[in-house]
Amino acid sequence: MANLFPIFLKLEGRTVLVVGAGIIAEQKLGGLVSARAEIHVVAPKASVAIRELAHNRKLSWSQREFQSLDLTGVFLVIAATGNPAVNERIFREADARGVLCNAVDEPERCHFYYGSVVQRGDLQIAISTAGHSPALAQRIRKQLEQEFDNAYADWLNWLGRARVRLFGRKMDAERRRRILHRIARPESYARFRRTQSGVSQ
């Protein structure tokens, strides 16, 4: 299997096609909605949850079978039909058009894989096994969820504000780098937690 290039995509305003509107598709939509992608779902039938998203204008839904023209202007496509023959057609047509495709649970029909993700605010840690063992990726995710608790979201925001302030000052670049690395250490996080909980240092 080819080596994978890890990347975090900005999908806001980009068109993402999802073919299929059942449980499989539902599992992939949360992240796309959060990323503010322009989501177009194509499927003859849709789950209650997907109908609700369409009703709330979080996505558009075409109630019909997939057509080749659905790939026009699309940045990436999720084939979530549960039908290998249909997913194969989607993958081949996407590949011919240079559109990134992920056929759910079919590694041979994927240009990219969904990682198992730990998210704490803007902090995202994604784990991939290149499709070899999603179960292992999930186990590692659970371990990381225990190590990186919810307070990391607030700490990351604090670090971001501190970084902006430091870059707003006239300062030697090397000194700034040392400060940024120092305040990102575990000891700094421990002090931040104590401050947030009102415990004196």
Q: Is the pLDDT of residue 200 over 60?
A: no
Span 27-75, pLDDT tens digits:
899 989 999 999 999 999 999 999 999 999 999 999 999 999 999 999 9
Q: Angle, to 10 degrees, between the axis of helix 173-183 and the axis of helix 151-167?
A: 170
Residue whose tokens read 């990682």? 115
Q: How far apart are CA 67 and CA 110, in angstroms?
A: 19
Q: Is the pLDDT of residue 128 over 90?
A: no
Mean pLDDT over each residue of the chain, to the nearest integer:
92
- CATH class, range 1-114: alpha beta
Q: Is the pLDDT of residue 199 over 70?
A: no
User: CB 76: neighbour CB atoms within 10 A?
Assistant: 20
As its CATH architecture, domain 116-147 has 2-Layer Sandwich (3.30)
Domain ranges of the chain: 1-114, 116-147, 151-196
Span 60-114, pLDDT tens digits:
999 999 999 999 999 999 999 999 999 999 999 999 999 999 998 898 999 998 8
Give whole-number Cα distances, 154 to 63, 81, 120, 138, 143, in Å. Answer: 42, 38, 9, 25, 20
Q: How many degrees, rounded to 5, is the angle at CA 134 between CA 125 and CA 143? A: 45
| Average of per-residue pLDDT across 126-140 | 88
Tokens standing for residue 89: 């057609």
